[in-house]
Amino acid sequence: MTENQRYPNILQAIWILILLHILSRVLLILWYSFARVTGFLLLAHPAVMSLIYVVVFGLILMRGLKRANTSFGEICPLVPVRLSLLFPMALTIIGTFSLLEIGSWLDFFPSPSEWYPEWYTDFLYNLVVATNDLVVYPMWVMGVDFVIIGPLTEELLMRGLILRGFLSRYSVRKAILASALLSGLMHLNSWNLIGTTILGILLAWWFIQTRSMLPCFLGHALYGALFVYSDSVLGGLVEIWPPLLEIWFPLWWNLVGVILTALGIWLLIRQFRKSSDTIPEDVSGDKPDQL
């Protein structure tokens, strides 16, 4: 690794994600097993499991910072962004979610459980379900997971550490696409693969253009909020006007997604073109190739 090439490269990034899944699965199994043996089901409460998730990401990030010989402040630049960017960013996220997360085309993809060996899914199902018989997964915990914990931990890892390393080694296009694809594969969920990959492309683009993690945190949080609460919102709309589910659903929903996404991206391109500095030298160490 030369002086200007930062950690990680593509193979090192893949190993980071493998290590992340190994640690999280091992701790999950050990913690649930301990809760079963002791009979103290509070240990298996989803809020406790969220804390374990944070610990795993923290350990991975600490290791990554040490390998990259960098500080937390360097992988988490919080440069203020123009308020005029927030509206088109929100439009793009809402449109992307509408287009990718709700649609009958998801039936063409294998179930997420098919990604794992049958013996593993049976073991994990029996362990978790048997332990959680008396434990309810509150909506507020799901909201915290998808709107706060997920955005903070995943963005620090994928955009703060991994994308930053890629930008010092590869062209901007390759760095964005590679980091986004790893973002999608990280969840090991075929139903979310396309959505999370495209989200990764958008957030990487915003990070490069703004030199800030703020748009990444906010965009990811909005996407997570839509994921958690969209069924409630859609259900409310159907109660107000039941024919919504009878008139070309989900075609009209996806059409709205296309319009909002296109409008948001068009507005963002116009906003970004007003700035003369679009590629962050301080993020990658070197100024990579222009898009």
**Residue 278 in domain:** yes
**Distance in angstroms (rounded) separating the CA atoms of residues 73 and 71:** 5
Mean pLDDT of 175-200: 88
Question: Which residues, 6 or more positions from 241, have their beta carbon under 8 angstroms from its beta carbon?
Answer: none
CB 268 within 8 A of CB 88: yes
**Residue 14 in domain:** yes
pLDDT of amino acid 98:
82
Domain span at 189: 10-284
**Distance in angstroms (rounded) separating the CA atoms of residues 37 and 56:** 23
**Residue 291 in domain:** no
User: What percent of the chain shows pLDDT beyond 90?
Assistant: 48
Tell me, what amino acid is at 92?
A: T
Query: Using omega within 30 degrees of 0 as the cis cutoff, is the peptide bond preceding 250 cis?
Result: yes
Residue with tokens 């969220």: 50
Query: pLDDT tens digits, residue range 228-278?
Result: 887 766 666 656 666 666 655 567 777 888 899 999 999 999 999 887 544
pLDDT of amino acid 245:
60
Query: Using omega within 30 degrees of 0 as the cis cutoff, is the peptide bond preceding 110 cis?
Result: no
In DSSP notation, 56-71 reads HHHHHHHHHHHHHT--
**Residue 3 in domain:** no
**Distance in angstroms (rounded) separating the CA atoms of residues 222 and 202:** 13
Q: What is the mean pLDDT of the chain?
A: 81
Mean pLDDT of 104-131: 56
Instruction: Give the chain's domain count.
Output: 1
Please indicate whether residue 63 or residue 280 has the higher confidence score (pLDDT): 63
pLDDT of amino acid 228:
87
- Number of other residues whose CB lies within 10 A of the CB of residue 22: 11
Mean pLDDT of 149-153: 95
**Residue 5 in domain:** no
Please indicate whether residue 66 or residue 131 has the higher confidence score (pLDDT): 66
Residue with tokens 């003369």: 276
pLDDT of amino acid 288:
42
pLDDT of amino acid 134:
46
Q: Does residue 121 register a pLDDT over 70?
A: no
Mean pLDDT of 162-178: 96
pLDDT of amino acid 61:
95
pLDDT of amino acid 9:
95
**Residue 4 in domain:** no
Query: pLDDT tens digits, residue range 11-69?
Result: 999 999 999 989 988 887 787 777 777 766 666 677 777 888 899 999 999 999 999 99
What ranges make up the beta strands (E) of 153-216?
Answer: none
Q: Does residue 114 register a pLDDT over 60?
A: no
* Exposure string over 33-65, b if 16+ CB within 10 A, otherwise e: eebeeeeeeebbbbeebbeebeebbeebbeebb
pLDDT of amino acid 138:
74
Q: Does residue 199 register a pLDDT over 60?
A: yes
Tell me, what amino acid is at 163?
A: L
Q: Does residue 130 register a pLDDT over 70?
A: no
CB 151 within 8 A of CB 224: yes
Query: pLDDT tens digits, residue range 80-94?
Result: 999 999 999 999 999
User: What is the number of residues in the chain?
Assistant: 291
* pTM to 2 decimal places: 0.84
**Residue 2 in domain:** no
Phi, psi at residue 76, to the nearest 5°? -130, 60
Token representation of residue 100 = 């990718």
**Residue 119 in domain:** yes
Token representation of residue 84 = 């005029």
Taking each helix axis from N to C end, the angle separating 193-210 and 172-186, rounded to the nearest 10 degrees, works out to 140
Please indicate whether residue 63 or residue 108 has the higher confidence score (pLDDT): 63
